[in-house]
Structure formats: C-alpha cells, structure tokens
Amino acid sequence: MTARHRSIPGILALGLALSAHALAQQHDHGQMDHSQMDHGAPRAARAPDVLATPLPVLTDADRVAAFPTLTRPMEHARELNSLMVIDRLEAWDADHGAGIGWQAQGWFGSDLNRLWLRTEGERQGGRTGAAHVEALYGRSVTPWWDVIAGLRQDFHPGDAQTWAAFGVQGLAPYKFAVQATAYVAESGRTAAQLEIEYELLLTNRLILQPLVELNLFGRDDPARGVSAGLNSVEAGLRLRYEIRRRFAPYFGIVYERTFGDTAARHDTHAVAGLRVWF
C-alpha cells in the first residue's frame, strides 16, 4: 500500500471526530436559556453592565484644579526681533513724465516696545516731488494697536522741515490696516495723514490691495504748494502675485488729486512695481 492509501483511514477518523464534537456543541446550545440571549447585537458590541474600573464622581475640587485662577499677568517674549517691508517700489508713465515712488517701513524691538522707521516719497520728470523719513517709538496698547510718537523730517517740497509726530497704527475690525498720524512743526504748523489699506486674497498667492491716503494741513504754505484743509488724496488698487512670500511683483492703477487755488490738479496712471520684505 502506498503512502497516499495509508493516509485515507487517518483522514476518515479525523472527520468522524470533528462531526462528533459539532453534535456535542449543538446539544449544549439547546440546553441554554434563549431568553437570556441578545441576538440583536454582536457580542463584541455589547457594553458591560458594570465597569471593571468605575469612574470617580466629579467634585468641586476637581473643577478648581482643572481651571486654576491666574495670579500673574501674561508674560511677553523678551527676545528682540526686526522686520523691514518695502511695501511699494513702483514706476509709472504719466502726462507730466515718468515717475518712481516708494513707501517702506520697518521696526526693531520686542512685542511691546519697538523703534519704527517709515519713509515715503516720489520723483517725477527728474524732480523729487516729495520725500520724508520718520523715526518713531511704538508701544503696544492692545493686541492689535500701537501708539506711536517721534520725529518726521521732510526733505521736499521746499526747504527741509522737522515735525513732531504722534498717532496710532494697527488692524481695525474686518482686517483694515490703519495708520493715523498727526504732526506739529516748530513754526506752529500742523498736519495729519490717514492711510487705510486692505488685502483681499483672490488665491493663496494672488492678492488685491486697495489703498486710500489723505493728507491735511492746518494752514496754507504757498512755498510748498500746500493749502489748508484737505490737501491731497491718493487712491490705489494694486494686484500682486507672491512668487515667494518675501517677493511679489504687482501692477495697478492710482488716482491722485491735490486741492487748493494754485496747486489743484488730478492724475490717473498705471503703475508696476515690487513688494519685498525681509
């Protein structure tokens, strides 16, 4: 007899043993009380009637420990940081000749106290129409607003002039960036500047930036072409693409208007430029 034929009796014996075991289990199942069985849910999904480790009852002491009363004021970061943003570095071609303009600001300090530097100006037709630099101390008074105070130096138009500056800057509701600054000169002249801008994210990298800037003066200054009251308005709409977050070319359109008997004019021109920060 071959090995294959010798294994057949063993296989038959194993099959008979398994059949007898199955019949015995069916007999035991028939003896069970079917009223105690739950056929509606699998055994693994049934929750035990009593937890193996009961959860402790929540007490007032537990609540106090979870939410302690803070006795110390919020601590602020002590390390010094800095940021420089060239918000606008642009060129245009208008009726009065080609022009270039710039606006930049930066700061150095902590999250509470900072030294701010701001500059703005433009040249058109080979002449500097306006240029100034500001050095300001800024103190954070809320998470969104700083109070600022310092000096402003005008280089053009006319002779150089120094102003004392004070104001506020920050983020208004609905994320409008606001700078409002008042100025007082040695001769008693006064001025004010209000700038409001907004950034509308069309995509993750394509950003539309509307901006409005108002300049006001307390009295006439014919030597500088300044009229009392609202002296100039600038409204711009710029669309930039952030190739990198730190580097973004843009193009846009700008409307400028000045008021007064001798300096009244208005101009609309297209601009192209760069926005860089580091």
Nearest to 173 by CA among 143, 211, 208, 203: 143
DSSP count for the chain of H helices, then E strands: 2, 13
Q: What is the domain range of residue 198?
A: 81-272
Q: What pLDDT score does 266 carry?
A: 86
**Is the Cβ–Cβ distance between 235 and 211 less than 8 Å?**
yes
Mind listing the pLDDT tens digit for each residue in 12-34? 444 555 555 555 555 554 454 44
- Per DSSP (E only), the strands in 112-205 are 113-124, 127-140, 145-156, 161-172, 176-185, 190-197, 200-201
With respect to residue 127, please indicate whether it lies within any of the assigned structural domains: yes
User: Are 193 and 200 a contacting pair, CB within 8 Å?
Assistant: no
The number of domains in the chain is: 1
In a domain, 21, yes or no: no
Dist CA 69 CA 67 (whole Å): 7
Which range is most confident: 31-45, 66-80, 243-257? 243-257
In whole angstroms, give the CA distance from residue 230 to residue 217: 7
Whether the CB-CB separation of 132 and 114 falls below 8 Å is answered with no
CATH number for 120: 2.40.160.40
**pLDDT number for residue 209:** 97
List, for residues 168-217, the tens digit of each pLDDT value.
Answer: 999 999 999 999 999 999 888 999 999 999 999 999 999 999 999 999 99
- For residues 83 and 102, what is the distance between their CA atoms, to the nearest angstrom? 17
5: which DSSP letter? H
Asked if 149 contacts 131 with a C-beta cutoff of 8 angstroms, the reply is no
Under DSSP, is residue 212 helix (H, G, I), strand (E, B) or coil? strand
Kindly state whether residue 241 falls inside one of the protein's structural domains.
yes
Per-residue model confidence as pLDDT tens digits over 207-227: 999 999 999 999 988 888 888
Residue 214: how many CB atoms within 10 A of its CB?
16
In a domain, 3, yes or no: no
Banded pLDDT at 1 (limits 50, 70, 90): very low
pLDDT tens per residue, range 118-169:
999 999 888 888 999 999 999 999 999 999 999 999 998 888 999 999 999 9
76 belongs to a structural domain = no
The encoded tokens of residue 145 equal: 């607003």
In a domain, 68, yes or no: no
Let me know if residue 64 belongs to a domain. Answer: no
Distance, in Å, from the CA atom of 250 to the CA atom of 228, rounded to the nearest integer, reads: 34
pLDDT digits (tens, 9 = 90+) for 222-253: 888 888 999 999 999 999 999 999 999 999 99
Residue 70 covered by a domain: no
Q: 198 - beta bridge partners?
A: none
